[in-house]
Chain A
């Protein structure tokens, strides 16, 4: 079966750095997405990786290792508004998105 694993919840301090990991086992691989979802709101796109390596976009970076079936999302200079769930999703061989359950990130002052 297809499986996406990410931690259920993480806590970090305002101004610090946090890394959210995602491991996956899917039928084929056509890219990995990270989305942010605030409570009661729609997921919003953060990043996309299809080749190995690091993609940097402002305070957010995402890393991919296809051989290890592993990705992480790195958030720097954390702000209170970063408190949200972070969803990892893999596009499989049929171009269907397989979603993880999300990591709830709690930012403390």
Chain B
């Protein structure tokens, strides 16, 4: 069956540009998570959706970061006025139950490079 997909897989942006990263979770999964992963580090939590509701956005590093999941399925992470420190892999994960009660299934990630 289809897993979590993300697009684009790679994105190069010039400093100051806006970017939009897409996540297609597993069909029927209630929970959706966004993480940021720097090289050689574990994922860092950014934000969590339960269906269309964004229940936790405590990990978003600044107000330049914005996420939405308007119909409770596909989600988009938008970064405005990108900075070099935004360069990282952005991982999306989905889970069947609310609140991450069960294991999370990860997409392949989007590698963002800001030049």
Contact = CB atoms under 8 A, between A and B. Distances in A.
Interface in A36-74: 41-45, 48
Nearest to A42: B106
B91 interface: yes
Interface stretch (A10-18, A75-83, A87-95): A87-95
A101 B44 CA distance: 10
Interface in A16-40: 33
A101 B100 contact: no
B45 interface: yes
Contacts of B41: 101-102
A99 B101 CA distance: 16
A95 B100 contact: yes
B88 to A, nearest CB: 13
A102 B40 CA distance: 8
Contacts of B43: 43, 87, 97, 99
Interface in B25-43: 33, 40-43
B100 to A, nearest CB: 5
Nearest to A46: B103
B105 interface: yes
A95 B55 CA distance: 12
B62 to A, nearest CB: 19
Interface string B1-45: 000100000000000000000000000000001000000111111
A107 interface: no
A42 B109 contact: yes
Given A99-B44, A101-B40, A102-B41, A91 B100 contact: yes
Interface of B: 4, 33, 40-45, 48, 56, 91, 99-101, 103-109
Closest 6 CB pairs of A and B: A99-B42, A42-B106, A45-B103, A95-B99, A101-B42, A43-B106
